[in-house]
């Protein structure tokens, strides 16, 4: 089997589609990839199942996993904790499938520091409209929550210079092919540095405009002066 021996890590802002890409990789190539099921303290959403989508635990159980060194990385996002069990990163003997992780920027950095030989790929949304549409299309968050997610995503976009490999998730099949090209060490898998920089500028401009619109929807009387401190959170 070709490709890297360590885990495949997909990182990117919320709404980039990294979870969908990870699921497709595992579904289409079960001989190459296995899912890495994360731990979280948040409640399951409709249709989610313990052990398949996440390991749903209490905050006390999560704290015990931290103290016991059973998490390779973890972070608190929007008031809930998410982490990767260290057991998910065990090196398999022979040519068995490698784990696929989809995690946030901080988590990816911690995985790299562990020296697991991970291949990290930053997944970018194709443009502001598609990105915002994916977030709003979930139908589970209020305008305030979507604005908060967009602010978090802006911070993640600022970490782009820390990464070396990028794939634009415009169309799922093409995205999977490009991720596979990276994994196999083939040329032509990712976006160029200039394309990434230009795309990030467009994403940032679009996100900031949408945040302003959402805040006007939430409270039309809110002034720019009142809104500014929240933008810096």
Cα–Cα distance, 121 to 136 (Å, whole number): 25
Residue 205 in domain? yes
Residue 85 in domain? no
pLDDT, residue 139, reads 64
Mean pLDDT of 192-201: 88
Residues 6+ away with beta carbon under 8 Å from 26: 33, 34, 35, 100
**Half-sphere exposure for 105 (CA within 13 Å, toward CB):** 18
Residues in the chain: 233
Q: What is the pLDDT of residues 30-78, one digit of tens each?
A: 999 999 999 999 999 999 999 988 999 999 999 999 999 999 999 887 7
Residue 84 in domain? no
Helix axis angle for 18-28 and 172-184, nearest 10°, is 70
Cα–Cα distance, 86 to 99 (Å, whole number): 12
- Give the model's confidence band at 92: pLDDT under 50 very low, under 70 low, under 90 confident, else very high: low
Question: In this structure, are residues 103 and 111 in contact, taking their beta carbons and an 8 Å threshold?
Answer: yes
Residue 222 in domain? yes
User: DSSP labels for 73-128?
Assistant: EEEEETTEEEEEEGGGGPPPSTTPPEEEEEE-HHHHHHHHHTT---EEEEEE-S-H
Mean pLDDT of 7-17: 90
pTM: 0.81
Specify the DSSP class assigned to residue 5. S
Domain range holding 125? Answer: 8-36+97-231
Residue 23 in domain? yes
Residue 212 confidence (pLDDT) above 60: yes
Residue 82 in domain? no
- Give the model's confidence band at 230: pLDDT under 50 very low, under 70 low, under 90 confident, else very high: very low
**Lowest pLDDT segment from 10-14, 93-97, 196-200:** 93-97
Nearest to residue 166, comparing CAs of 183, 193, 190? 190
Q: What is the pLDDT of residues 125-172, one digit of tens each?
A: 999 999 888 877 656 678 888 888 888 888 888 888 888 899 999 999
Cα–Cα distance, 89 to 198 (Å, whole number): 34
Residue 54 in domain? no
pLDDT, residue 231, reads 37
Residue 32 in domain? yes
Q: In total, how many domains does the chain have? A: 1
Q: What's the CATH code of the domain at 184?
A: 3.40.50.300
Q: What is the pLDDT of residues 93-124, one digit of tens each?
A: 556 788 999 888 888 888 877 766 789 999 99
């Amino acid at each position: 089997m070709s490709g890297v021996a360590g885990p495949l890590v997909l990182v990117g802002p919320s709404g980039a589609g990294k979870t969908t890409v990870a699921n497709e990789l595992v579904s289409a190539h079960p001989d190459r990839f296995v899912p890495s099921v994360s731990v979280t303290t948040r409640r399951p959403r409709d249709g989610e199942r313990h052990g398949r989508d996440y390991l749903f635990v209490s905050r006390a159980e999560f704290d015990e996993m931290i103290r016991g060194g059973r998490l390779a990385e973890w972070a608190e996002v929007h008031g809930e904790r998410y982490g990767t069990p260290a057991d998910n990163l065990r090196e398999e003997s022979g040519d068995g499938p490698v784990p696929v992780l989809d995690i946030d920027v901080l988590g990816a950095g911690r995985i790299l520091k562990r020296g697991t030989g991970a291949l990290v790929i930053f997944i970018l949304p194709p443009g502001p409209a598609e990105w915002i549409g994916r977030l709003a299309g979930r139908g589970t968050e209020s305008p305030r929550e979507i604005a908060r997610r967009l602010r978090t995503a802006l911070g993640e976009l600022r970490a782009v210079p820390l990464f070396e490999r990028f794939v634009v998730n415009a169309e799922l099949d093409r995205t999977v092919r490009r991720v596979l090209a990276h994994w196999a060490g083939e040329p032509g898998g990712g976006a160029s540095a200039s394309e990434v920089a230009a795309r990030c500028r467009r994403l940032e401009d679009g996100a900031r405009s949408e945040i302003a619109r959402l805040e006007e929807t939430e409270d039309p009387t809110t002034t720019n002066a009142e809104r500014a401190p929240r933008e810096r959170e």
